[in-house]
Structure 1
């Protein structure tokens, strides 16, 4: 698949006063603060999750180094971490590119999400508190507002974060990290395979899931979650379409 020719645009977060990242990071300094590497990782990950970075986009070491005022060594460290997370592909003599998930990978990611999120849902439904229900309702209100105002990046982040909020309520950081990685890869998959699943539908499905949580109805919650993930996956164009050259080249 041809690489996306659009220029790389990553907004570097403004550093906090206590942050050690800055012009003091010398070019070629492999001992640069770990925070510098993580900042690049977080920025690229967020851009992918919010669908601001397209699959196949080339990531320039020099440009990213200039954006974050760090050496190319630090940028390469970030690329290596993103590669381990399957968000970036490193190609010899060509550089780093935002990953382009295959159909097989897409199916694997959604299968993994189904298994993991079902476990989260089953466990949470047994222990969820009224205060946590209130927190979920507040999150749903943020979703509703973002969808109504057509805030594309905001609603994308909030709709994905709904699933993370559920995992965080169990207090298991390993679960949160695993699900976070799968959700970011899901964003790439949706971009790559042109998801037509609307934000309005996702929001309404989230509402139904929270209603089931409020009733402590684990069977309904599991059924609604499964339906939600199935709907998202079914709206991806994962089945290769046959191409009729006669129609295309007329």
Structure 2
């Protein structure tokens, strides 16, 4: 595969993944190849390849004779994604803490300010984007590209899960939690930073209505009593 083709496919994967992560493409959205070709100014074969990669990452579902759509994660998958995030983000913090410089803390604090500004403007899309950027920034500063790639995928899948199962419109990735993580890193308190991240992710998960869907029982008589 040529470098130009690979670069273009990666661009398409990145654009679609970002739209999902920022909840601009909700679960179940149908992805029509022709429309993507036009809107993303892309080659149809490149679009098809990008969709197949996104399918491998569980972001897109492709059904023969029906086409592609944004995935709709199950409750079991939702729990597994947050468990995986907890493990990956713990590793990121532990790796970063071994090499964390004052410059890194300054970069993280700058990101906190950007998040706070988005919250003040009450721009939900921007808040989601900047919250995800904080987590990815931790990974990039840790200097492990594999962990960064893993986290990018998990954040995108988390956004799908939040779109499907969120109980109410609340800010799920709080700036205060992020500040606690940065403060712990600045104090070189690794265990506190890890614990803050663990609590933070559990807080996000607690706002999802997973228990209801996992244990749901349908009374068909009540469902159709007014029909």
Q: In the TM superposition, what are the counterparts of 1:139-218 in structure 2 within 5 Å?
A: 139-194=111-166, 196=168, 198-199=170-171, 202-218=174-190
Query: What is the match of residue 220 of structure 1?
Result: 192
Report the RMSD for the aligned CA atoms in angstroms. 2.0
Q: CA deviation at 1:201?
A: 6.1
Pick the aligned partner of 2:82 from 93, 110, 124. 110
Q: CA deviation at 1:182?
A: 0.6
Greater RCO between the two (CA within 8 Å, min separation 6)? 2
Whole-angstrom distance in 2 between the partners of 1:115 and 1:200: 19
Query: What is the match of residue 91 of structure 1?
Result: 63
* Higher mean C-alpha displacement, 216-225 vs 176-185: 216-225
Report Cα offsets for 1:129-165 as digits up to 9, x if no partner.
Answer: 1111111110000000001101111110110111111
8 Å contact from structure 2 (residues 172, 204) kept in 1: no
Report Cα offsets for 1:209-231 as digits up to 9, x if no partner.
Answer: 11111111112111111110111
Query: What is the match of residue 14 of structure 2?
Result: 42
Q: Which runs of 5+ in 2 are unaligned?
A: none
Sort the Cα spacing of 1:61 and 1:200 in 2 relative to 1 into closer, same or farther, 3 A.
closer
Q: CA deviation at 1:170?
A: 1.5
Sort the Cα spacing of 1:88 and 1:201 in 2 relative to 1 into closer, same or farther, 3 A.
closer
8 Å contact from structure 1 (residues 86, 99) kept in 2: yes
Query: The residue matched to 1:136 in structure 2 has which SS?
Result: helix
Q: In the TM superposition, what are the counterparts of 1:53-92 in structure 2 within 5 Å?
A: 53-92=25-64
Sort the Cα spacing of 1:114 and 1:31 in 2 relative to 1 into closer, same or farther, 3 A.
closer
Q: Which runs of 5+ in 1 are unaligned?
A: 1-29
Whole-angstrom distance in 1 between the partners of 2:154 and 2:122: 25
Sort the Cα spacing of 1:124 and 1:108 in 2 relative to 1 into closer, same or farther, 3 A.
same
| TM-score, normalised with respect to structure 1 | 0.82
Whole-angstrom distance in 2 between the partners of 1:73 and 1:130: 46
* Higher mean C-alpha displacement, 47-56 vs 239-248: 239-248
Whole-angstrom distance in 1 between the partners of 2:134 and 2:94: 16
Query: What is the match of residue 22 of structure 1?
Result: none
* Higher mean C-alpha displacement, 97-106 vs 119-128: 119-128
Q: Number of aligned pairs?
A: 221
8 Å contact from structure 1 (residues 197, 231) kept in 2: no
